[in-house]
Structure 1
Amino acid sequence: MRFHADLHMHSRYAYACSKNSDLEQLTWWARRKGVTLMGTGDFTHPAWLDRLRTALVPAEPGLFRLRDDLDREVSRTLPGSVASAPVRWMLTVEVSTVYSQGGRSRKIHHLVHLPGFEQVEAFNRVLAGIADLGVDGRPTVRMSARDLLETTLAQGEGAYLVPAHVWTPWFGVFGSKSGFDTLEECFGDLTEHVFALETGLSADPGMMWQVSGLDGYRLVSYSDAHSPPIVGRETTVFDTYLDYFAVLRALRSGDGLAGTTEFFPEAGKYHVDGHRKCGVRLDPEETRKLGGVCPVCGRTLTVGVQSRVEDLADRPAGRSPRGAAGFRNLLPLPDVVAEILGVGPKSKKVAAETDRLVAALGPELAILGDLPLGDIAACSPRLAEAVGRLRNGEVTKDPGYDGEFGRIHTLAPMRP
């Protein structure tokens, strides 16, 4: 079975996340987007864990589904083309480790996956001894990344950890502000138990392939959704049984890992270098010439993902390791529709048109990546043109920097 998975997610209990991020609305948006397997996120938060226990019921091994009465209510307001699509849930949480190592402060985010509520309860008991888990759905713990990995592995069969958005300046394992140059520095004697890495919005596999030391790792992409409408903006595609342990085997071996759908990395908030307060955006070469100092205020620039990748790269761009899964860069459908209509992506006109397209053509990810352009043209010729350009990479890019999202245009003239 081929399906999209989005295993980096947050609930209404996580800091700076939408109050609408509940299981029903997340399921609604997963169906509309075409995402089959979702991460619950935030299972360390007591209130969210209570909700997971009451609203989810066991499905395939290690996975859960929404309770029948809740599922019927979700399906009632969706168009028939997506209303009955299966959605399964995996128990996940993002954990922030904050500690000192090598004379530097380290702030690293990780995704923890567990196959059952018993393992979740045992994991939470350990973290509750060092942190107040009711404060934030994304808990911050005063322990090393290596010790968090050990705590995860102690939960038994199926427990695994994936370093999150590995290049993000402040919270990625390779981040320019508080990360490391190698995974071995971070995880020490337990490094062999790390087998997958999340690319994050500001990078894609093509960039990561420049670092040969990462060749043995499976690359995954997820949305890190802080609100339901952005579910599925990045996904990992599996071709396996819909089963927790089948997904885990695919991540360990690569067999059944079919690739990822990615943001254009230039659209991410930390792709290039800069200083947002001063309106300064720089490419890596310019940053190096300036010694990493903002030319306006004289303070240190935020060094983005592209610079950091170049710092660690040992081979040129454009090469992929043998056996690596592929990827494709896409945009959220509302962003494409917004450009066609000449209005903002959150406008009522865009919502209405996107509703019409999904009702006629099916889920958003299928429209963007798989549906024949002729079928799209029958419904919207301009959308077919935009999607064709998107699939061919014929887009114009204004890269993001220092917390400012970039912009990707499908219908603007290509730059020389």
Structure 2
Amino acid sequence: MRFHADLHIHSKHARACSKDSDLTHLTWWARRKGITLMGTGDFTHPVWFAELRENLVPAEPGLFRLRDDLDGEISRTLPPSVASAPVRFMLSVEVSTVYARGGRTRKIHHLLYAPDFDVAGTLNRELARFGNLDEDGRPTLRLDARDLLEITLGGGEGAYLVPAHIWTPWFGVLGSKAGFDSIEECYGDLSGQIFALETGLSSDPAMNWRVSGLDRYRMVSYSDAHSPPMLGRETTVFETGLDYFAVLEALRTGEGHAGSVEFFPEEGKYHVDGHRKCGVRLEPRQTRERGGICPVCGRKLTVGVLSRVEDLADRPDGARPAGAAGFHSAVPLPEIVGEILGVGPKSKKVVAEVDRLTTALGPELTILEDLTPGEIAAHSPPLAEAVARLRRCEVIREPGYDGVFGTIRLFKPGEPGPVSAGSPPTLF
């Protein structure tokens, strides 16, 4: 079975997250997006943990589904093209460890997974010794990353850890501000128990392939969604049974790990170097020429993912390790429609048009990945052209920096519109 998985999300109990990030909204949006396997997010939070136990029921080994009564209510609000798609949940949480090592403060984010509520409960009891789990769905723990891995492995059979968004400057295991120069340096004698790494929005597998020390890891990509509409902006594709342990085995061995759908890394908010306050954005070469100093205010620049990859790279661009799973880059459908209509991706016009398109054509990921341009053109010629360009990677890139998202565009000024969303738009 081939399916999309988004295993890094957050609930309404995490800071700066939508109040709609509950199980019913997450299931609704997963169906609309075309995601089969979801992380629950935030299982360390006591209130969310209780909600998960109340509203999820066992499905395939290690996976859960929404209760029938809740699921039925959701299905009635969706068009037939997506209403019956299966959605499964895997118990997941992102945690932040803050500690001192090597004369530096380390702030590293990690993704933890558990195959059942007993294992998750054991982890919760252990982790509560190191931080206040009530405070945030993504708790901050005063705990060394190596020790967190030991606790995870001891939580029960099947529990595992994936370092989150590994290149992010402040919170990635390889980040420029608080990270290390290798996975082994961070996790020490237990580093052999790490088998997958999350690329994050500001990098893609091709960037990671430049670092030979990462060859043995599976590269995974997830949305880190703080609201349900953001689900699926990055996903990992599996060709396995729909089963927690099958997914785990695919990550350990590579068999069944079919690759990922990625942001264009330039759209991530830490891709290149810069200083948001001064509006300064620099490529790695320019940063080195200036000694890492902002040319406007004289303070240190935030060194982004591209620079950090180049610091650790021992291969040129274009290198690819033998056996590495592939990937392709995409732009979320609302962003494409917003560009066509000349309005923001969250506007009412875009919402209405995306509703129309998914009702007619199916889930968003199906539209972006599987349908032919001809099939799309019957409902939106500009979207068909946009998707054709997207698949050829013919995009205009303005990279993000220092917490500012980048922009990916598919059309030059004046093409194709803006056009009305009320009927299928046409190219001139």
TM-score (norm 2): 0.96
Q: 1:236 maps to what in 2?
A: 236
Shift of 1:259: 0.5
Equivalent-residue separation in structure 2 for 1:388 and 1:412 (angstroms): 15
Q: 2:345 maps to what in 1?
A: 345
1:137 aligns to 2:121 (yes or no) = no
Q: 2:19 maps to what in 1?
A: 19
Shift of 1:52: 0.1
Question: Which string of whole-angstrom CA distances, capped at 9 and with x for unpartnered residues, describes residues 81-101 of structure 1?
Answer: 001100000000001000000
Question: Which string of whole-angstrom CA distances, capped at 9 and with x for unpartnered residues, describes residues 350-399 of structure 1?
Answer: 00000000000000001011111110011111100000000110000000
- Give the SS at the match of 2:80: coil
Alignment of 1:261-272 (within 5 A): 261-272=261-272
- Give the SS at the match of 2:108: strand
1:385 aligns to 2:385 (yes or no) = yes
Equivalent-residue separation in structure 2 for 1:368 and 1:244 (angstroms): 27
Alignment of 1:92-107 (within 5 A): 92-107=92-107
Equivalent-residue separation in structure 1 for 2:364 and 2:25 (angstroms): 16
Shift of 1:131: 1.1
Shift of 1:156: 2.3
- Give the SS at the match of 1:97: strand
Letter in 2 for 1:281: R
Alignment of 1:166-185 (within 5 A): 166-185=166-185
Question: Which string of whole-angstrom CA distances, capped at 9 and with x for unpartnered residues, describes residues 38-61 of structure 1?
Answer: 000000000000000000000000
TM-score (norm 1): 0.99
Is contact 1:395-1:412 (8 Å) kept? no
- Give the SS at the match of 2:81: coil
Alignment of 1:4-403 (within 5 A): 4-403=4-403
Equivalent-residue separation in structure 2 for 1:148 and 1:177 (angstroms): 20
Deviating 4+ runs (over 3 angstroms): none
Shift of 1:111: 0.2
Question: Which string of whole-angstrom CA distances, capped at 9 and with x for unpartnered residues, describes residues 116-142 of structure 1?
Answer: 000111110011112110000001000
Equivalent-residue separation in structure 2 for 1:180 and 1:131 (angstroms): 23
- Give the SS at the match of 1:314: coil
Equivalent-residue separation in structure 2 for 1:412 and 1:168 (angstroms): 31
Letter in 1 for 2:308: R
- Give the SS at the match of 2:259: strand
Equivalent-residue separation in structure 2 for 1:9 and 1:221 (angstroms): 11
Question: Which string of whole-angstrom CA distances, capped at 9 and with x for unpartnered residues, describes residues 173-220 of structure 1?
Answer: 000000000111100000000000000000000000000010010000
Shift of 1:28: 0.5
Question: Which string of whole-angstrom CA distances, capped at 9 and with x for unpartnered residues, describes residues 137-156 of structure 1?
Answer: 00100001000000000012
Structure 1 alignment gaps of length 5 or more: none
Equivalent-residue separation in structure 2 for 1:105 and 1:129 (angstroms): 20
Equivalent-residue separation in structure 2 for 1:339 and 1:368 (angstroms): 15
Question: Which string of whole-angstrom CA distances, capped at 9 and with x for unpartnered residues, describes residues 325-374 of structure 1?
Answer: 00000010000001111111111110000000000000000101111111
Q: Sequence identity, in percent?
A: 72
Shift of 1:319: 1.6
Letter in 1 for 2:22: D
The count of corresponding residues between Structure 1 and Structure 2 is: 413
Letter in 2 for 1:390: L
Deviates most, 105-114 or 72-81:
72-81
Question: Which string of whole-angstrom CA distances, capped at 9 and with x for unpartnered residues, describes residues 62-88 of structure 1?
Answer: 000000000011111111100110000
- Give the SS at the match of 1:82: helix
Letter in 1 for 2:221: S
The CA RMSD measured in Å over matched residues stands at 0.6
Letter in 1 for 2:403: G
Letter in 1 for 2:75: S
- Give the SS at the match of 2:95: strand
Equivalent-residue separation in structure 1 for 2:317 and 2:75 (angstroms): 44
Question: Which string of whole-angstrom CA distances, capped at 9 and with x for unpartnered residues, describes residues 262-305 of structure 1?
Answer: 00000000000000000000000000000000011111000000
Is contact 1:11-1:22 (8 Å) kept? yes
Equivalent-residue separation in structure 2 for 1:371 and 1:149 (angstroms): 42
